[in-house]
Amino acid sequence: MSSTRSASEIDDEAADWAVRVDARGLDVERDPELLAWLDGDARRAGALLRAQAAISFLDRGRALAGAAPSVEAVAGRPNRRALIAGAGGIAAALIGGVGLWAARPQRLDTRLGEIRRVPLADGSLVAINTKTALDVAMRPRSRRIVLREGEAWFQVAKDPERPFIVAAGTVRVRAVGTAFSVRRGDEAAAGVDVMVTEGVVEAWIEGDPAPRRQLSAGSRIVLASAVSPTVAESPSEIERSLAWRNGEIALDGENLEQAARLFNRYNNRQIVIEDPVLARERFVGLFQTNEPESFAAAVAATLGAVVNDDAGSIRISRGRTS
């Protein structure tokens, strides 16, 4: 007898999971039992999204009607599941017509060295760089991303009725249909780096009386830093800075100290440039983010440096002169 579940059975299971997520606040990205269920069949993720959309639809309807949920709806799972099933067709129509919104923000994050590309419910795409955390909230009239740390590049689906806003600390970036990246500096004084690769965005600082800035494709600005913000036109530099989207680091004249910092963002084995004179040497090359050894070997071959490595570090020093 086949163990493959029917679509209706998967929908029933998804309704159970949606109720548990809603009632207990389970983390869809981290709960091991839920992740195991999702991994078991490619159809389950879509079924869960439909069930969550149905819950969102029901709760929003109650809120608009000013009605409190009944005791049966809270205490009795079968009634809640039946309501979800009844609302499923309406929710599916809403998904197809105006996009799916989440009942609560969705957390997306990456570990050290991890790079992810994640399609969003509105048709947008987000590429997430190493050690990044962001919250995504899709609602009927707005799309809001909160960048907690790290860096992400957004390719925004056009929807003039639902502005797409990224918040990074006090900085806000607004787009309708465009592509841009936002990076929060490792330190507060480093500010927020905004780079536009397509279309136009609007950037500003919450509470700052200065006018909002319009940035077009090929433009870059750092806001909320210790330095006065200026718009720079540098399309080739922007593309090089965003090479991480393909898992690459593109060097074009950075010194070795700067290059080491780039590699160290992605790897447990940290590159250390031991000689200050060597650290100022400039370098050109294209490398994989997860291959610091290749970079060290290229430095040794090009500049006559000596490489000593162990489990935790790759130390590069100037070679002995005769």
Q: Which of 42, 67, 98 is the last residue of a domain?
A: 98
Q: For a pLDDT cut of 90, what percent of the chain falls above it?
A: 55
In a domain, 242, yes or no: no
pLDDT of 239 reads 94
Provide φ and ψ at 248, rounded to 5°.
-130, 155
pLDDT of 104 reads 66
Q: E strand or H helix at 166, and its extent?
A: strand 164-168
Q: For a pLDDT cut of 70, what percent of the chain falls above it?
A: 79
In a domain, 129, yes or no: yes
In a domain, 38, yes or no: yes
> In terms of domains, do 90 and 119 share one?
no
> In terms of domains, do 76 and 111 share one?
no
Q: Which of 201, 234, 267 is the last residue of a domain?
A: 234
The answer to whether the beta carbons of residues 16 and 81 sit under 8 Å apart is yes
Domain of residue 32 covers 7-98
In a domain, 185, yes or no: yes
257-313 pLDDT per residue, tens: 999 999 999 999 999 999 999 999 999 999 999 999 999 999 999 999 999 999 999
pLDDT of 66 reads 47
CATH code of the domain containing 277: 3.55.50.30
The answer to whether the beta carbons of residues 156 and 175 sit under 8 Å apart is yes
> In terms of domains, do 67 and 173 share one?
no
Coil, strand or helix at 53: helix
In a domain, 240, yes or no: no
> In terms of domains, do 200 and 176 share one?
yes
Distance between first and last Cα of the chain: 78
Looking at the 3D structure of the chain, how many domains does it have?
3
CATH code of the domain containing 140: 2.60.120.1440
Q: Could you write out the DSSP letters of every residue in 285-318? A: EEEETT-HHHHHHHHHHHH-EEEEE-SSEEEEEE
Provide φ and ψ at 156, rounded to 5°.
-95, 130
Give yes or no for residue 67 having a pLDDT over 50. Answer: no
> In terms of domains, do 32 and 129 share one?
no
112-145 pLDDT per residue, tens: 999 999 999 899 999 999 999 999 999 888 999 9
> In terms of domains, do 126 and 195 share one?
yes
Give yes or no for residue 238 having a pLDDT over 90. Answer: yes
pLDDT of 73 reads 37
What is the spatial distance between Cα 190 and Cα 261, in angstroms, rounded to a whole number?
A: 15
